[in-house]
């Protein structure tokens, strides 16, 4: 009897914590999209060119993927987590290789991506596999 009661309480707690993770990820992603998108558009929809450094060109390539991932997370959390975290990893890798400063903003963008991945995998392990 107590074991069944414990399982119910544990499931309810897990469900609440999953919902909190999902909504924190969604809110931070929306705030970051609303902050980053005008700056990206402010460049006039920039395309990589030879007058910029390599790390700046990589940033211009990965930023649209990250911005799209911030919005995709409202529907498909795991896909969005990868769309955000993998380009950030690529940018950080190139910044490390070429000894460039990646900038603190790109690290902040990893927060909703990480939360989306955590939510996606926890949801998958909880049995809701349609993400």
**More confident of the two residues 44 and 78:** 78
Residue 15 lies in a domain: no
Asked if residue 7 is part of any domain, the answer here is no
Instruction: Give domain status of residue 10, yes or no.
Output: no
- Structural domain harbouring 56: 21-125
Q: Is residue 62 in some structural domain? A: yes
Instruction: Give the dihedral sign, CA 97/100/105/107.
Output: positive
Give how many domains the chain has, as a whole number.
Answer: 1
Residue 12 lies in a domain: no
- Backbone phi, psi, residue 67, to 5°: -65, -40
Is 110 in contact with 99 (CB distance < 8 Å)?
no
Question: Is position 6 within any domain?
Answer: no
pLDDT digits (tens, 9 = 90+) for 54-105: 777 788 888 889 999 999 999 999 999 999 999 999 888 888 888 877 777 7
pLDDT at residue 43 tops 60: yes
**pTM greater than 0.85 (yes/no):** no
């Amino acid at each position: 009897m107590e074991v069944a009661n414990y399982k119910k309480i544990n499931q309810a707690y897990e469900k609440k914590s999953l919902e909190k993770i999902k909504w924190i990820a969604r809110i931070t992603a929306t705030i970051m999209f609303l902050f980053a998108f005008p700056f990206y558009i402010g460049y006039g929809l920039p395309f990589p060119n030879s007058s910029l450094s390599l790390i700046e060109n990589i940033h211009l390539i990965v930023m649209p993927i990250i911005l799209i991932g911030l919005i995709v997370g409202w529907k498909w959390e795991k896909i969005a987590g990868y769309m955000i975290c993998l380009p950030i990893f690529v940018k950080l890798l190139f910044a490390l290789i070429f000894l460039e400063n990646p900038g603190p903003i790109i690290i902040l963008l990893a927060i909703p991506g990480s939360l989306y991945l955590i939510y996606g995998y926890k949801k998958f392990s909880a049995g809701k596999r349609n993400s």
